[in-house]
């Protein structure tokens, strides 16, 4: 008994793999619809015949898109990988603790209920308006419970671990847990309006789920972007770095290039990231010194970001032929490259003079998407590709499908960000152009109609990425149902895949 290798229990990981694929599809589909609506506004009323204009309208769908990809696709991906990686690096199985298993399942089911509540409420227009924190207080409370359950899962598993030392990925998962907990709590401080009493003595007036923010105006903006920017940090960066630190060395069979570099990057990232939120508020009404801090720390942020990315690239030292032979390694290397790219672009946009042009334009949208499509999306899909053979004990269904997916999606991302760069810079320059008499050169609508070709290209890019995602979903589904069964011995490093 004692000599057998540990067997891990992937029940909860499988559940979250399912929602990763499902919510990824939903979020990206809504994204493509939104892109089409900007290029061709007629799409807004596509279900008008059914009287559903209110629910297919750009403004109603937009928060659904952002929240479905952040809190649906990405969070599910983070949790699917945590319930997989956590056990393996701590050398302990979920099956060893009935309590942890129960908490894990509860975590999943409450999360699913939360997702349904979010979808219903956002379609109904029940929102606080704060980006990525649109949920009203009853859902916020549910989210806190789900989050605490994850925390209990993390520290519970750590509590019964066999491996004393925490692997790098675990540092990042812990940081995600703590970071989001702090940010989410403070940004969502709100007062339910039903607590107010009218002078006539009436209570519980109006919608019971409605609330108003505890902060007003400039303070609300400051707290929101301290949250908003760092939700990106602890949702789109930190846990994704956790993934690449596990999956790239594992899949390639290479040791992490440098422990010291990972230390520097981790603690550097933790310290620097939180300061950078101010770059969302340049030239706003927050004090100038805060704006400057946001700007300066954004540039400093290049160091820890590139530290992790370079550490990953150098992990491939001497084994670069794997990039040519394995589509799975291709995905991860491109993810890490997009991470470098995106973390260079962000600081450039945070420089005040650049931000004066970039802010409020599509260049920002382009930046977000080269990060999330190229880095987050590719890394989560790679993780699931690596996990699938181990979780289902089957060979990956098709290597050629994976390779085709890689190129289609890469093309999609490139079309997306290049069109948005051009759109953003064009619009930013047109807004500020004056003629020789000092009058504004363009009316606002001129700067909108000029974007039509770029909006069209972006919609095509987004659609390509969605097609690739469907190929991914199909590949995983076929792996699950029709892949050749494999033995434990085939699952050491490179994932087995059929041609």
Q: How far, in Å, CA of 417 to CA of 425, rounded?
A: 12
Among 58, 123, 306, 474, binds other proteins (CB under 8 A): 58
Task: Count the Cβ atoms, other than its own, within 10 Å of residue 51.
Answer: 8
* Contact call for residue 253 and other proteins (CB under 8 A): no
Among 11, 18, 60, 352, binds other proteins (CB under 8 A): 60
Question: Taking CB under 8 A as the criterion, which residues in 453-492 touch other proteins?
Answer: 455
Question: Taking CB under 8 A as the criterion, which residues in 122-151 touch other proteins?
Answer: 125-131
**8 Å CB contact between 58 and 115:** no
* Contact call for residue 3 and other proteins (CB under 8 A): no
Question: Taking CB under 8 A as the criterion, which residues in 213-232 touch other proteins?
Answer: 213-224, 226
**8 Å CB contact between 223 and 215:** yes
Closer CB to other proteins, 271 or 320, in the complex? 271
User: Which range binds other proteins by CB under 8 A, 25-33, 51-59, 94-102, 111-119?
Assistant: 51-59
Name the token pair of 452: 């039509």
| Contact string (CB under 8 A) for other proteins, positions 350-369, x = contact | ------x--xxxx-xx----
* Contact call for residue 120 and other proteins (CB under 8 A): no
Q: How far, in Å, CA of 338 to CA of 372, rounded?
A: 9
Among 63, 104, 366, 462, binds other proteins (CB under 8 A): 63
Tokens 């504004």 correspond to what residue? Answer: 440
Shortest distance in whole angstroms from residue 167 CB to other proteins? 8
Shortest distance in whole angstroms from residue 497 CB to other proteins? 34
Q: How far, in Å, CA of 233 to CA of 176, rounded?
A: 8
Closer CB to other proteins, 318 or 438, in the complex? 438
* Contact call for residue 325 and other proteins (CB under 8 A): no
Query: Which residues, 6+ apart, have CB-to-CB distance to 374 below 8 Å?
Result: 334, 335, 337, 338, 339, 341, 342, 413, 417
* Residue 283: strand, helix, or coil: coil
Closer CB to other proteins, 367 or 394, in the complex? 367
Name the token pair of 62: 């937009």
- Residue 6 DSSP one-character state: P
Task: Count the Cβ atoms, other than its own, within 10 Å of residue 321.
Answer: 10
* Contact call for residue 49 and other proteins (CB under 8 A): no
Question: Taking CB under 8 A as the criterion, which residues in 176-205 touch other proteins?
Answer: 178-179, 182, 186, 191, 193-200, 202, 205
Among 44, 237, 298, 349, binds other proteins (CB under 8 A): 44
Question: Taking CB under 8 A as the criterion, which residues in 82-101 touch other proteins?
Answer: none
* Dihedral, CA of residue 226, residue 371, residue 18 and residue 328, to nearest 10: -140
Question: Taking CB under 8 A as the criterion, which residues in 368-427 touch other proteins?
Answer: none
* Residue 430: strand, helix, or coil: helix
* Contact call for residue 160 and other proteins (CB under 8 A): no
């Amino acid at each position: 008994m004692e000599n057998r290798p540990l067997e891990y229990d992937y029940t909860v990981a499988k559940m979250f793999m399912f929602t990763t694929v499902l919510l990824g599809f939903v979020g990206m589909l809504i994204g493509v619809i939104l892109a089409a609506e900007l290029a061709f506004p007629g799409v807004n009323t596509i279900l008008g015949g059914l009287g559903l204009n209110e629910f297919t309208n750009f403004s109603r769908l937009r928060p659904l898109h952002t929240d479905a990809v952040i809190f649906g696709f990405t969070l599910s991906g983070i949790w699917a990988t945590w319930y997989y990686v956590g056990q393996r690096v701590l050398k302990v199985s979920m099956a060893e603790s009935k309590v942890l298993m129960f908490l894990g399942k509860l975590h999943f089911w409450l999360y699913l209920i939360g997702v349904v509540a979010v979808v219903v409420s956002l379609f109904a227009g029940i929102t606080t308006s704060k980006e990525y924190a649109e949920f009203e207080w009853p859902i916020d409370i549910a989210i806190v419970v789900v989050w605490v359950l994850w925390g209990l899962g993390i520290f519970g598993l750590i509590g019964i671990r066999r491996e004393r030392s925490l692997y790098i990925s675990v540092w990042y998962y812990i940081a995600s847990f703590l970071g989001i907990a702090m940010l989410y709590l403070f940004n969502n401080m709100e007062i339910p309006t039903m607590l107010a009493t009218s002078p006539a003595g009436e209570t519980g007036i109006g919608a019971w789920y409605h609330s108003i923010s505890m902060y007003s105006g400039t303070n609300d903006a400051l707290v929101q972007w301290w949250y908003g920017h760092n939700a990106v940090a602890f949702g789109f960066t930190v846990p994704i770095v956790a993934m690449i630190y596990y999956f790239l060395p594992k899949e390639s069979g290479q040791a992490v290039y440098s422990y010291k570099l990972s230390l520097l990057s981790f603690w550097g990232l933790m310290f620097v990231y939180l300061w950078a939120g101010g770059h969302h508020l340049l030239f706003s009404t927050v004090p100038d010194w805060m704006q400057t801090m946001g700007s300066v720390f954004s540039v400093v942020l290049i160091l820890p970001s590139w530290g992790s990315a370079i550490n990953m690239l150098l992990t491939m030292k001497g084994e670069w032929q794997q990039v040519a032979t394995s589509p799975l390694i291709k995905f991860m290397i491109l993810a890490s490259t997009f991470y470098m790219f995106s973390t260079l672009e962000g600081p450039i946009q945070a420089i005040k003079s650049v931000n004066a042009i970039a802010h409020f334009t599509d260049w920002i949208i382009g930046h977000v998407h080269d990060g999330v499509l190229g880095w987050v999306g590719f890394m989560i899909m790679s993780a699931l590709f690596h996990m699938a053979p181990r979780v289902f004990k089957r060979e990956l269904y098709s290597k050629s499908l994976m390779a085709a997916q890689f190129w289609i999606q890469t093309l999609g991302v490139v079309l997306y960000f290049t069109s948005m760069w051009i759109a953003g810079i064009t619009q930013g320059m047109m807004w500020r152009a004056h003629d020789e008499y000092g009058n504004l050169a363009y009316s606002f609508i001129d700067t909108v109609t000029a974007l039509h070709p770029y909006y069209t290209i972006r919609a095509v890019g987004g659609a390509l990425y969605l097609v690739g995602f469907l190929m991914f979903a199909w590949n995983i589904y076929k792996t699950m149902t029709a892949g050749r069964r494999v033995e434990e011995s085939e699952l050491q490093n490179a994932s087995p895949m059929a041609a």
